[in-house]
Structure 1
Amino acid sequence: MILVTGATGAVGREVAGLLAGAGPLRILARRPERVSVTGPAVDIVAGEYGDRSSLDRALRGVGAAFLVTNSPAEPDDERFAAAAKAAGVRHLVKLSMMAVEEPGADDFITRRQRENEQAIRESGVPWTFLRARTFMSNTLSWAPGIHSEGVVRALYGTSPVACVDPRDIAEVAVRVLTEPGHEETAYALSGPEPITAEQQTAQLSEVLGRPLRFEELGLDRARDHLFGRYPRPVAEAFLESAERQRAGAKAGVVPTVLELTGRPARPFRTWAADHAGAFRPVAA
């Protein structure tokens, strides 16, 4: 039995979808009604990381688990790893971030991810870390501006990032969850090329067949937006991350997707074409 968490998110949904037809699959979800993956061998369990009894129920009989956590404040990785250890889970695959292995990254979110990885190491459960670069799907946040104005707004337009398709992360995750020999290993995952927000905007324009304009947010506007939406440490972390990207720290490409799946990582243009409907206005 494999357990998947985060099945309503960009990566977890893809992992669950790939595993649904392969054998017994259990999904832990805080809101089970939002889980779209179904099948005769799929068991959906309601629960959350702060509720140990729900973790115990979800992990009963599980051999391997895919872990996605999002809260920078709660010790969810530690909670899950402790429950996994008690349940006899033999392999814990955690979705992490590439920045944890980069000495220049010292923002709040990166520090917390390092602490989360360490908690899993110390739990005694055999682990694998999937350290992913920025998700291509993050550009879905541009959809409202594209719908209403044909405009993409972001902090820096010319800073490159080797963003990765969540489907590629999911295929690696499934390989790691279902094959032996990946324990105590951390895999860095990137897309096939660095790309800027201006270039992404141009490719979206071509895919959609309509003109799009990129508008660079000034630092003050970006700061106001982030501080109005997130707690201060998180907002500051996003700003620090943007500065690192501007300096080229996120442009490096790694061949892990090819090495583990046997095919190259998908470029942004492919992701954009496959998700073009999300950027098209909804018909009245």
Structure 2
Amino acid sequence: MILVTGATGTVGREVVRLLPRSVAVRVMARDPSRVTVPGGEVVAGDFGDPVSLERALQGVVRAFLLTSRVGAGDDVRFVRAARAAGVRHVVKVSAAAVEDEGADDLITCWQRANEELLWECGLRWTVLRPRSFMSNSLSWARSVAGEGVVRALYGTSANACVDPRDVAAAAVCALTEDGHEGRVHTLTGPRPVTALEQTAELGRLLGRPLRFEELPVARARARLLQRHPQEIVQALLAGAERQRAGAKAGVRDTVLRLTGRPSRPFAVWAADHREAFGRLP
């Protein structure tokens, strides 16, 4: 039995879709009505509820772990429950920033602590460290559709962002194959791209020119504060500064080595999500 957490999110949803139907799959979700698992089961569960974790992990051999609440202790509770339930292998989604020199922001430190927890817990583990998701550009969808504008920090700084579908494919390999235990897989796209290049690609797909508007740091901070606590905003801005310094431009061939298929370029991801940018959400 494989347990999948985060199945309503960008990566978890793809993991559920890609897992072979011959494998017993269980999905843990706070709202089971939001998830459909053909041939599998869905159980109600929450990282903050140890009783629900115990129930979700019964009979599970391998688990896909994706958490997002920084500093909430979700990984600690999940790993504790997994050990008690006899789970043998946890595949954890972390972040490539963990290995960036000088990355000491709140989010990166949280991910480092989560990795160390796995290493020391006694379970078999695999860590996936993706670069930023290409799907982050969906935050531009409204301004692209309504104004023909992309607004972002540092338009010429490059990021080897990765298609979430490639992250999910790597996760499925780790969940269904032997030989991934005790390994860290850093996942990137095939080449680094800038926000200016992404803007041009979206314009080409939409058949109309798009304008890029570089945000001053103060304005970017104000926009982020509308959605995130101050400490998270500081971490995101620190990440943008590291990207501007070139820390996120490195490319790995990990997706090809794991799946036998090269990682998708941004142009492919954008073409598959064109509709999101062509109309108001």
TM bracket, shorter-chain basis: over 0.9
Q: Deviations over 1:215-257 (max 9, x none)?
A: 1111110111122321111110000000000011000001100
Q: Deviations over 1:172-195 (max 9, x none)?
A: 110110011111111100000000
Partner Cα distance (1:193, 1:22) in 2: 35
Partner Cα distance (1:253, 1:21) in 2: 32
Q: Deviations over 1:71-125 (max 9, x none)?
A: 1120111110111111111110000001111221111100010011111222211
1:259 corresponds to which residue? 257
1:38 corresponds to which residue? 37
Distance apart, 1:156 and its partner CA: 1.2
Conserved? CA contact 2:2–2:61, under 8 Å: yes
Segments of structure 2 that go 5 or more residues without pairing to the other structure are: none
User: RMSD across aligned C-alpha pairs, in angstroms?
Assistant: 1.2
Partner Cα distance (1:147, 1:22) in 2: 41
2:10 corresponds to which residue? 10
Q: 1:258 to 1:125 in 2, by over 3 A?
A: same
2:115 corresponds to which residue? 117
Q: Which runs of 4+ in 1 moved over 2 A?
A: 20-23
2:167 corresponds to which residue? 169
Conserved? CA contact 2:242–2:248, under 8 Å: yes
Provide the identity percentage. Answer: 59
Distance apart, 1:282 and its partner CA: 5.2
2:176 corresponds to which residue? 178
Where do 1:127-166 residues align within 5 Å? 127-166=125-164
What TM-score do you get using the length of structure 1 for normalisation? 0.96
**Bigger shift: residues 156-165 or 202-211:** 202-211
Count of residue pairs the alignment pairs up: 281
Distance apart, 1:47 and its partner CA: 1.0
1:28 is the counterpart of 2:15: no
1:250 corresponds to which residue? 248
Conserved? CA contact 2:162–2:187, under 8 Å: yes
Q: Secondary structure at the match of 1:229?
A: coil
Conserved? CA contact 1:191–1:265, under 8 Å: yes
Q: Which amino acid aligns with 2:6?
A: G
Partner Cα distance (1:63, 1:81) in 2: 13
1:97 is the counterpart of 2:100: no
Partner Cα distance (1:154, 1:22) in 2: 44
Partner Cα distance (1:279, 1:226) in 2: 21
Q: Which amino acid aligns with 2:10?
A: A
2:199 corresponds to which residue? 201
